[in-house]
Structure 1
């Protein structure tokens, strides 16, 4: 007996082939009753040409989804870590990015609705925007939002890393240290801000709000923040940026303004993405173990999928300062 085709399913369910495709892939535009009828026929006929259909009996897909806002350097390194951790496992990786036609929160909610329970067994969300996350599958967040503390999370020691970077600059003799802050709704950004302020106080330096500009972890916004800091009447002699993209933006703006680095300006980033070592000069930065964040998220998520109770559901990995060519004592 030949294997049933999608046309067989459509005929038995009394719908079009397009409707069958939408129903089994969890897309919008199909009534709930129609979806249920199509899926019943899929199971009765044993139609197994799609991932969704083949997983209906086991209720598992063998796929872990990773939601990223964009495939920028940080997310790319996370995906490398996730992929390496899944290499010898029973799970495949599905990377999913958002539509720029929707708000960040909108695409995340829509993505969870589309993927959970049909295409993936669990999901890793990277720098999520949504606070009240809900889905039919386990969720682990990397670099979590400031809200909902009960969601399993993996992050780096943002406070300690920022404190170390700022104290390092103060130790070189800098007294006006600017700060390009990150995305305000992420816990890492709040902690890096706190670490910066704490280190200033420890070094006997006053906090000056004029030396802080928000870069939101984005290179374009970071450029705007850098211009504000470096074109003021009393510019800083050093800048600590909350991520490497922003720090590289500071280097670009400094070059446009004719400032030498590190002669006129010292710069420290945070992340140590591959681009940091390739910048000119190579960027001094706080290294967080980005690929290990991805691997740790996989370990936590697969434990949840196996029905295990993880020893810890909030993991914080250490950071360390990597000295390169963008820092020196002030002239």
Structure 2
């Protein structure tokens, strides 16, 4: 079959080739009427016209492709929405998204090689997404093209970034516990010192201070940010004579371990102890019983923001410096389920009637 070209569209619409080019390429500052634009689009649609992207790339020096360089995100279930958000936003700009996924522990040399591969394939820009919120040294190769970060901060402050507002999300979650009547709240934190670890604790302590609750460092226990770490930390907190009536877990995996600890101690959730998590990780948060009240990370929104921002930078936006020095924070909403209830009269694990405390 003969391919349909721009001349065929121009003939069908009764306009010049130049007019078709302006309309289909959305050339700004042209005097083409809306009725003519509609006629051209209808003709192109009826004829099944598809622009020659290779020819356009040679003319505009643009490939129409952007790269997504990830750390384990393509294989991490709860972060897959980053890719979905980026993909749908890229499609809305008629861009192709190329993904290279590498291991979170890959060294600097591997990261630079991944960036070079995308650049050699003529990516117009690159998104660098990390598996969790932390500070990174961006590969020097990314200076060759516009770039943005998802979930990370460039230690040199040269690359625009979008981050989850974990401090505010944590503060809102603690405020929910306080509103339910809790005043003695345990906090199981990650033992790894990254921005997420610091931000979630900062938000928790901020909400306590705003509620007039004094900080008690004995209620803050760190461990591995996995179920095993949550189990050990929560077991320590709930075995105390003056145990907390609620436990805020660093993430949903630690909350899974907290559920196990509570069960082993004969405590019912949320009647005897309320437990909350962070991340809204599927399928954990909805599948454990009772379903977990937690905080959702804005994966989809960050992916879409990254592509939209990268598109502006590729087109020559002048706000690159501001975005590089002022990371964008995305709201982390609280997702209420069934693991929070009002505090009951607290009884120590010994079940002695003399051990009753408020």
Question: What TM-score do the two structures reach when normalised by structure 2?
Answer: 0.65
Give the Cα separation in 2 of the matches to 1:213 and 1:108.
35
Q: 1:82 to 1:221 in 2, by over 3 A?
A: farther
Give the Cα separation in 2 of the matches to 1:108 and 1:236.
46
Q: CA deviation at 1:326?
A: 0.2
Name the counterpart of 1:68. 71
Which of 111, 116, 124 pairs up with 1:109?
111
Contact 1:238 1:267 survives alignment (8 Å): yes
Contact 2:275 2:339 survives alignment (8 Å): yes
Which of 293, 303, 317 pairs up with 1:294?
303
Q: Tell me which structure has the larger Cα radius of gyration.
A: 2
Name the counterpart of 1:22. none
Which structure 2 residues correspond to residues 170-185 of structure 1 after superposition, within 5 A? 170-182=178-190, 184-185=192-193
Q: 1:94 to 1:218 in 2, by over 3 A?
A: farther
**Structure 1 gap ranges (5+):** 1-54
Q: 1:149 to 1:110 in 2, by over 3 A?
A: closer
SS at 1:330 equivalent: coil
Give the Cα separation in 1 of the matches to 2:191 and 2:89.
28
Which structure 2 residues correspond to residues 16-165 of structure 1 after superposition, within 5 A? 60=63, 62-70=65-73, 71-99=75-103, 103=105, 106=108, 109-110=111-112, 112-119=114-121, 120=123, 121-126=125-130, 127=132, 131-133=136-138, 134-136=140-142, 137-145=145-153, 147-165=155-173
Q: CA deviation at 1:323?
A: 1.9
Contact 2:78 2:282 survives alignment (8 Å): no
SS at 1:273 equivalent: coil
Which structure 2 residues correspond to residues 198-213 of structure 1 after superposition, within 5 A? 198-213=206-221
Contact 1:270 1:285 survives alignment (8 Å): yes
Q: 1:65 to 1:145 in 2, by over 3 A?
A: same
Q: How many residues align?
A: 275
Q: CA deviation at 1:155?
A: 1.9
Give the Cα separation in 2 of the matches to 1:76 and 1:267.
26
Give the Cα separation in 2 of the matches to 1:211 and 1:189.
16
Give the Cα separation in 2 of the matches to 1:228 and 1:111.
45
Summarize deviations over 1:251-305 as a string: whole Å, max 9, x none. 2443344321111221122233343233311111223432111111111122222
Question: What TM-score do the two structures reach when normalised by structure 1?
Answer: 0.70
Q: CA deviation at 1:93?
A: 3.0
Which of 335, 346, 350 pairs up with 1:322?
335
Contact 1:145 1:185 survives alignment (8 Å): no
Greater mean deviation of Cα atoms: 190-199 or 139-148: 139-148
Which structure 2 residues correspond to residues 215-226 of structure 1 after superposition, within 5 A? 215=223, 217-226=225-234
Contact 2:134 2:196 survives alignment (8 Å): no
Contact 2:133 2:195 survives alignment (8 Å): no
Which of 214, 218, 222 pairs up with 2:222?
214
**Structure 2 gap ranges (5+):** 1-56, 345-358
Give the Cα separation in 1 of the matches to 2:206 and 2:200.
10
